[in-house]
Structure 1
Amino acid sequence: MDSLVRIAPGALVIGRPLPWDVFDADGNVLLRQGYVIQTESQLEHLFERGRFKPRKMSPYKKAEFEDNRHRNPFADYAELLLTLETTLNAITSREESAQKRLLGLSRMLERTCMEAPDASLALVHLYSVNPNIHEQILFYGILCQFTARQFGLDEKRTRILTAAALAANLALVPVADKLNSSNIILSQQQRAVIEKHPDRSIRALEAAGIDNKLLLNIIAQHHEYADGSGYPDNLSGSDILPEAEILALAERYVAMITKRAYRNRMDITEARQMIANLADGKFRPAIPRALLEVLGKYPPGVLVRLDNNEVGVVTRRANKSRGPFVQAIFNPRGHRYNGTFERDTSLLDYMIRGPEEPEIMPSMDFSLLWGFRS
């Protein structure tokens, strides 16, 4: 099939779910999105035989970001990432369409989060094992969407914040993956690159004709802290925009749950405690509180062990009357179910015992787990 292309080395990683369906050269499905590569031999086999369907990017059209399809975050994941990449490229290339692309992607992400909130949050947790820089940026945008609304920002400010989250690390894109995979202490030069990235990102945006004052100020301040310990201007207290603090917190949270070469990822209990601690000085307390309320004790996409010893993935957050809902994927003896079974964890037999952090994530058909057609 002409539309299928080979998978580039480095695009797939052992231990994390496939970001798209994988086909053979004749167009037959080899593996569905959500399958987790277990061994080096499987990885080599996919690089040798595997193909995927890239989305063909056309010149910018307003309608491109305003279609009426119901959003399925899992089916749209690869498209969101590719749209993000082309949007950032449009900014660095100073294309006339750069601002429209950025705001359009912000609207696309907003709509995805509003139509499928639990599934959108699940993306952050299911793909946080070893994400690349574009995935991390997408996660920042998702978390900003939810946290801003919980904090009480209106729709317009939330949309600008989301656009800022998608562009704030533009200057780090060429080096971020290398920095994250390094297990040695950063050099002075690398630290300088990191500390200058807000200003460099702003200059790139301005050169591309993006002049929204709020957006640029969010980016300028997103490494400032309420206690005055941030950079570049050592701002403190109410001098810092709440949008900037929300973005900073989203970045901190993603870093906590992400595996790096020099440390393991935190489980959700540890990450929640760290977020709670940040309310004491570095952030205005209402912002960490808003993120914790969005996540709940066990956010969608997190694996948990139940009191009956089943293991499953959280698919829906708790509400006032019921606990989180879990799709059980392993039986009490540790064997994989043929299918999944929904568990209401407010019931005594299915209460959550705690988070589960397997060395290798189990393979799952994400669309079906969240009730979408695969």
Structure 2
Amino acid sequence: MLIDNNQELYPLEEEELELGMELPWTVYTEAGQLLMREGSQVDNQRKLDNLLSKGYRHREKKASDASGETAPDPTEPQPVLFDQATNPFSELDELGYQLKQLFELIEEDKARPGQVEKRCYALATQVQGLIELNADAVLGAVHMSSEHPYIIQHPLHVTIIAALVAKTLKVPQPIQLSMLAASLTQNIGMNAYQMRLHAQKEPLSKQQRAQVEEHPLEGVKLLSKAGVMDRLWLQIVYQHHEKTDGKGYPKGLKGVKIRPEARILALGDVYAALVTGRPYRPGLSAQQSLRSIFLARGKQFDPKLSQVFLSELGLYPPGASVRLRNGEVAIVIERTKDTRAPKVTSFMDSHGQLFMRMQQRDTSEFSYNVVAGVNPQSLPRLNPTLLWGIKLRRVN
């Protein structure tokens, strides 16, 4: 994980340490403070436990270019470069169909060696490319309903959020690929029954709860059987339901014992689930969902990553429904430097009548100030391409 001085620190893993060893590297805390120097002896159990719970070490970096940033490896997949005329919503819809085909390949055990990794990395780089093209529109899609079922829509939405956070943190591309591949496949172990649970109005039974808590391990087994050899990808899938306070599953890991990439996925997973309606509850507004994340920081979620996540989405994230001072209802279409004054498209007047033609508003103007969030469940389904003023065609 990147820290402020652009050095990469990663938590120590259990297999790297043993009682009586001499440290081959200097160890730091997550905040970058010195914990133990290179050459120090791990001569008692207390030191070993302290290193395992708090220790981070530098990860070897690639050669850097003149700007000081890591030079891209020409052999690894890079973000797709889309034509400026590309409709991101059409592309995301197409990605949903590609993800469905990938799941079928895995579940039916038909994948050739390397095929699942290649396809999943390709999906990841397309999400990255769409964020480069129009991050606000792509983030907006997380808050808008789609034609795809939950088992397709949800991992795509989590991947969008994870990719945005990773870009902000300047996570190296190889790690991003593993993380985004894990995000796309995080729930592959419960695809067979997730739609049934998604539609269920009653609380989970003990048997169902046990089944759900097994899905990270089942996912790792399925992916391994399908030929996935990316160890980091598999580790993130296994840990994506762990919580900072140790109350997650399947292992009840705490704090730095959870990979930072899995901690990012946990944020995206919960947020995307909160804003999506279920048969037993309506989806929450963006503001309600962000508040839930804010209140759970330091408990369920990593506090520093929570702050990055909240800052990235902003007070009124793209796709959020809001009411303006003049009574109009609008959808946020673009974040601005002033988090309280996003760009919006109004689609409903103060009397609840839909506009014949949608109107873009500057919410920094007094009469168009945002005064409240609006629960999206009470609103008609809207075409995002019209809200964002994007052409309807796909560019192949």
Aligned counterpart in structure 1 of residue 284 of structure 2, from 266, 279, 293? 266
Aligned counterpart in structure 2 of residue 195 of structure 1, from 202, 209, 213? 213
CA RMSD of the aligned region, Å?
2.3
State whether structure 2 residue 261 is matched by structure 1 residue 246.
no
| Separation in 2, partners of 1:128, 1:295 | 20
| Separation in 2, partners of 1:94, 1:219 | 21
Q: Aligned residue for 2:105? A: 90
> Secondary structure, in 3 states, of the residue corresponding to 1:354?
strand
Contact 2:285 2:321 in 1 (8 A): no
Q: Aligned residue for 1:121? A: 139
Aligned counterpart in structure 1 of residue 305 of structure 2, from 264, 287, 290? 287
| Separation in 2, partners of 1:184, 1:89 | 29
Aligned counterpart in structure 1 of residue 90 of structure 2, from 70, 75, 92? 75
> Secondary structure, in 3 states, of the residue corresponding to 2:277?
coil
Matched residues, number: 312
Q: Aligned residue for 1:178? A: 196
Query: 1:117: Cα distance to partner?
Result: 0.5
Cα deviation, 1:313-342, whole Å, max 9, x if unaligned, reads 111112259820011111233222121111
Query: 1:85: Cα distance to partner?
Result: 0.6
| Percentage of pairs with the same residue | 32
Query: 1:143: Cα distance to partner?
Result: 0.9
| Separation in 1, partners of 2:303, 2:169 | 11
State whether structure 2 residue 118 is matched by structure 1 residue 100.
yes
Matches within 5 A, 1:347-366: 347-357=365-375, 359-366=377-384
Cα deviation, 1:334-361, whole Å, max 9, x if unaligned, reads 2221211111111111110111225443
Q: Aligned residue for 2:353? A: 335
| Separation in 2, partners of 1:230, 1:73 | 35
State whether structure 2 residue 219 is matched by structure 1 residue 204.
no
Greater mean deviation of Cα atoms: 69-78 or 292-301: 69-78
Query: 1:86: Cα distance to partner?
Result: 0.7
Q: What's the TM-score, normalizing by structure 2? A: 0.74
Q: Taking structure 1 as reference, are residues 131 and 89 closer, same or farther at Cα in structure 2, changes over 3 Å only?
A: closer
Matches within 5 A, 1:1-40: none
Report the AA paired with residue 391 of structure 2.
R
| Separation in 2, partners of 1:188, 1:337 | 49
Query: 1:229: Cα distance to partner?
Result: 1.3
Q: Taking structure 1 as reference, are residues 66 and 118 closer, same or farther at Cα in structure 2, changes over 3 Å only?
A: closer
Aligned counterpart in structure 2 of residue 372 of structure 1, from 366, 376, 390? 390
Work out which of the two has the higher radius of gyration on C-alpha atoms and give 1 or 2.
2
| Separation in 2, partners of 1:111, 1:99 | 18
Q: Tell me, which stretches of 5 or more residues in structure 1 are unaligned?
A: 1-62
Report the AA paired with residue 111 of structure 2.
E
Report the AA paired with residue 89 of structure 2.
F
